[in-house]
Amino acid sequence: MWNHLKTPFKAILIIGIIALCVWAVVPIQQKIHLGLDLQGGVRVLLQLNPSKDVPSINAQVQSQVEQVVQNRVNGLGVSEPVISKVGTDRLLVELPAVKNPDEAVSVLKDVAVLEFKIVPDKVRQRADADSKYANDPNGAYKDSGPTVYSGADLKGAQAAFGPSGQPQIEFQTKNPAKFGKLTQDNLGKALGIFLDKKYVSAPTIQGVITSDGQITGNFTEDDTIRIANELNAGALPVPVTIVENDTVGPILGKIDLEKSLYASMLGLGLVLIFMIAVYRLPGLLADLALIIYVLMMLGLLASSKAVLTLPGIAGLVLSIGMAVDANVLIFERLKEELWAGKTLRAAVRTGFARAFSSVFDSHFTTMVGAGVLFILGTGTVKGFAYTLFWGTALSLVTAVFITRFFTDVIVDNDLVTDQKAYGA
């Protein structure tokens, strides 16, 4: 009974796979996520540096910095950010479609340590009049009293506007009683606000403040958004420096995408023509399987929410070559069987069976190499390895299963019996 049911079963399975892939891909503009090299953005390589409090960088410190950077990036509203570890003391941050690259870079590297100090009147007057003195860590910061409250004690911070429309930062405290006692004990004094040891402002404490407060100063709207984001994300446990900073404009990314797609379609078209010209009917069947393979790859990228980059497209095109290579081995073996005098059914069965070991070995070794690249590689190398690995795996499935199904349907039903149509 299985011999009668296996062909309809395989047909239903293939149709189901096609339908599932179409459902996963459409609309393709929304389902396939592009990397920053295709839509523009910022790629930053951060070096983690030891400090007095953290004398060495280990995996735990690297993970802490990664979490803080992730929180800061989320505050920017960037879609599909990619943050990956490089070695034991670096982080690679990729931010596609960033509107303000300079702001993004500043958010990544700024320490954002907020401190409150009681400021003497002379220090406040000089800081308000002399910006150099205000921004010097050995200036107003050093001449003020000890830190009485810090950003680590804040529950949250938000960018807001004051009564006159001036941008400011509103904050809430974790321990209202502690902040209330601080303000009560220092009524009439100037409470200095320092960000990264730079003087921001020093409002006079006119009443007891418990749970809510404001930070005012010479801020722009972007400044308040950035600072509030950094305060919410937390301070970096160690200082970081930018080793590499690459910015890709959206226009350049669009041009790269168009050229890459054009090259991919041209290469795919030439492959389809070559298969038909050399292998005739089997080549046509292989082309149909190849089209299904491309659809399966797009469905995989969409369902896994993978980010498609230029190296990823290269891996996809290379895996198409692997799919064609598998069909070439099978069809050459098929022609040899026909030349040996076997019937068409026997040649198909023997050709696929004897070519399988060579096809499997070539695909398996490629998958091993792609797997090693994905595990040990970083950034765009992972994108190339990802599409190459899964592309090679799916090409093996299409060559052995789908192309074989199409061929069996033609041969078993005697639709085309002339051996010339099979390239012999």
Contact yes or no for 334/404 (Cβ under 8 A)? no
Average pLDDT over residues 148-173: 78
Predicted confidence (pLDDT) at residue 233 exceeds the cutoff of 60? no
- Helix axes 221-233 and 59-76, enclosed angle (nearest 10): 140
Query: How far, CA to CA in Å, does 105 sit from each of 102, 149, 195?
Result: 5, 28, 18
Q: DSSP characters for 174-190?
A: S-HHHHHHHHHHTTTSE
As a dihedral over the C-alpha atoms of residue 227, residue 228, residue 230, residue 231, rounded to 10 degrees, the angle is 110
Structural domains of the chain, ranges and CATH numbers in brackets: 2-33+249-422 (1.20.1640.10), 41-110+241-247 (3.30.70.3400), 114-235 (3.30.1360.200)
Contact yes or no for 48/92 (Cβ under 8 A)? no
Q: What is the pLDDT of residues 351-361, one digit of tens each?
A: 788 888 888 88
Contact yes or no for 72/112 (Cβ under 8 A)? no
Contact yes or no for 392/319 (Cβ under 8 A)? yes
Predicted confidence (pLDDT) at residue 2 exceeds the cutoff of 60? no
Residue 62 confidence class, pLDDT cut points 50, 70, 90 = confident
Q: Quote the mean pLDDT of the chain.
A: 79
pTM of the model: 0.60
- Helix axes 2-25 and 403-412, enclosed angle (nearest 10): 140
Predicted confidence (pLDDT) at residue 34 exceeds the cutoff of 80? no
